[in-house]
Amino acid sequence: MLNKKFKHLKKEIKINNKFFKNRIISSPISINMASKGYVTKNIINFFSNLAKSGVSMVTIGAAAVSEQGNDTLNGMILGPNKYLNTYFDHK
């Protein structure tokens, strides 16, 4: 339970045309669970569970936009179109 000092964090907020159920946003998290740059079921499960925790927005950390820019072991790559396929295609 949030104490009285932080009770405003539970209030809904509108930013431009987007509504957020509260003012709690997860910080960017890098979990390094990709497979050859592709998103895995473990990544989806992790961020899905985080979203279900009650935060109003989840942010993903350390996702490379190119294969050359990927500097972490098991990091996600989001730039080239081949990485836009679902994780089912790359088990």
pLDDT in tens, the chain (91 residues): 567 888 889 999 999 999 999 999 999 999 999 999 999 999 999 999 999 999 999 999 889 999 998 888 899 998 888 887 665 555 5
Residue 9 CA to residue 13 CA, distance in Å, equals 9
Q: Where are the domains of the chain?
A: 33-91
What pLDDT is attached to residue 27?
Answer: 94
CA-nearest of 60, 58, 56, 59 to 15 is 56
Pair 90, 44: CB distance under 8 Å = no
DSSP state, residue 66 = S
Task: Give 60's strand partners.
Answer: 29
* 63: alpha, beta or left? (left if phi > 0; alpha if psi -120 to 50): beta
What pLDDT is attached to residue 86?
Answer: 62
